């Protein structure tokens, strides 16, 4: 379980308040989507959540472990797929995976089978000996997916994971996310692709201008929109089949922000 309580972040250089008093609880066993337009604060939130940057205020805990008090133990509880796949391009793919596995203390006996299984699943077994720099963007993303799962983390955090993946790999990823949640793990991912969020999220949060403007499931999002429309007396009701994209755009517009 991941808990963020009242976290805020202002970038010193630009003075921009990227995240403002954000609170979220991501329970075990769910796929939790994190949506928002460009510059809304998604990546900043994920960076604070993973200890890459420090929150100005508030607390973050992973499986009950306070990130600021016990950062190493908290970091061992999650696997991260970063937004940029261009990491350590001068290493060979297996060297990169070995480095991550060493850092997470994955035993020699488990390591080979985990890596080979995941590489087969994401179809990059053939290029594990290649330099990361020789791989396409999609392949690098797959490599990062494998690296994030090499220590079988309880919590899986993914920043825009679908970008660059071919349909087959995207399907494999979605399947893996379902399996992870079904096994009691937490999946927290950010995305711009509303259809993806719509199809696989159990719950979602929408962030705009650093603030959470919605948390709940798709049903709750539809109800919210309906009630808002009723308040302004439009008389229109939200369609059962109305897409998440339309609901998302409405909500962001109501909050006075730009749409993605």
Partner 1 sequence: MTQRPSSPFAALLRIHFKSVFAIRLPARKDLSSPKVILKAFGWILIAILLTADLGFVFGMMDVGMYRGLAPLGMQSFMLLNAIVTSSVIVFLFAFITSLSFFSSAQYEALFLTMPLTPTQLLAARMATVYAIEAPFGFLIMAIAAGVYGIQSHPGLGFYIQILINALALPLVPLALSYAIIVPIMTASRWLRKKNTLLYLGGIVGLVLALGFNLYLQSMLAQIQNPALLQKMLSSGKLNFAGIADWWPPAWLTMRALDGSIAATLGNAVLGLGLSAAVARLFGKPYSKTIINFGESFAVKGKIGAAQENSIFKLKPVFSSLVRREVRLMNREPMYFLNGPFVILLLPVIFALSLVARGKEIVDAVTALRPQLTGCLEYLIPAGLGMFLATSTSIACTAFSRDAKSIYFLKSLPIAPRDLVASKLSHALLFAALGIALGTLGGAILLGDSFGDTLIALLLAILGAGMLNMGALALDTLWPKLNWENPISALKQNPNSIIAILSTMGLIGGIIALAATVSSSKYLFAILYGTAFAVACALLGLLLFTKGVRNVGKMEP
Residues that bind partner 1 (CB under 8 A): 11, 47, 50-54, 71-73, 75-76, 80, 82, 84, 86-88, 90-92, 94-95, 98-108, 111-112, 115-116, 125-131, 133-135, 139
For residue 88 the two structure tokens come to 């350590």
| Least Å from the CB of residue 52 to partner 1 | 4
**DSSP class of 15:** -
Residue 140 CB contacts under 8 Å (≥ 6 apart), including other chains = 85, 86, 87, 132, 164
For the CB of residue 113, give the shortest distance to partner 1 in the complex, in Å. 9
| Shorter beta-carbon distance to partner 1: residue 126 or 179 | 126
- Cβ proximity to partner 1: between 50 and 208 the closer is 50
Considering the complex, what minimum distance in angstroms separates the CB of residue 110 from partner 1? 9
Report DSSP state, residue 230: H
Pairwise CA distance, residues 177 & 173, whole Å: 6
Instruction: Please state the closest distance from residue 111 (CB atom) to partner 1, in A.
Output: 4
User: Which lies closer to partner 1 via its Cβ, residue 43 or residue 214?
Assistant: 43
Q: In the complex with partner 1, which residue's Cβ is closer, 12 or 232?
A: 12
DSSP string, 64-119: TEETTTSHHHHHHTEEEE-S-----TTSBHHHHHHHHHHHTT--HHHHHHHHHHHH
């Amino acid at each position: 379980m991941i808990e963020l309580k009242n976290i805020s972040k202002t970038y010193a250089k630009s003075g921009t308040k990227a995240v403002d008093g954000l609170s979220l609880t991501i329970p075990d066993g769910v796929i939790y989507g994190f949506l928002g337009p460009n510059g809304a604060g998604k990546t900043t939130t994920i960076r604070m959540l993973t200890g890459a940057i420090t929150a100005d205020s508030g607390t973050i805990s992973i499986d009950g472990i306070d990130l600021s008090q016990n950062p190493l133990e908290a970091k061992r509880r999650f696997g991260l797929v970063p937004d940029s796949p261009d990491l350590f391009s001068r290493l060979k793919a297996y060297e990169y995976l070995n480095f991550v596995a060493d850092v997470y203390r994955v035993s020699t006996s488990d390591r080979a089978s985990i890596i080979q299984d995941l590489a087969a699943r994401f179809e990059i077994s053939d290029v594990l000996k290649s330099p990361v720099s020789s791989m396409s963007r999609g392949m690098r993303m797959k490599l990062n997916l494998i690296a994030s799962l090499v220590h079988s983390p309880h919590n899986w955090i993914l920043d825009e994971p679908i970008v660059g993946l071919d349909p087959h790999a995207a399907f494999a990823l979605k399947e893996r996310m379902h399996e992870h949640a079904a096994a009691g793990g937490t999946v927290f991912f950010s995305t711009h692709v509303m259809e993806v969020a719509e199809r696989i999220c159990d719950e979602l949060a929408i962030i705009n201008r650093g603030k959470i403007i919605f948390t709940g499931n798709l049903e709750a999002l539809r109800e919210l929109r309906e009630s808002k429309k009723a308040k302004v007396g439009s008389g229109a009701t939200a369609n059962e089949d109305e897409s998440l994209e339309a609901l998302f755009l409405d909500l962001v517009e109501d909050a006075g922000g730009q749409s993605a």
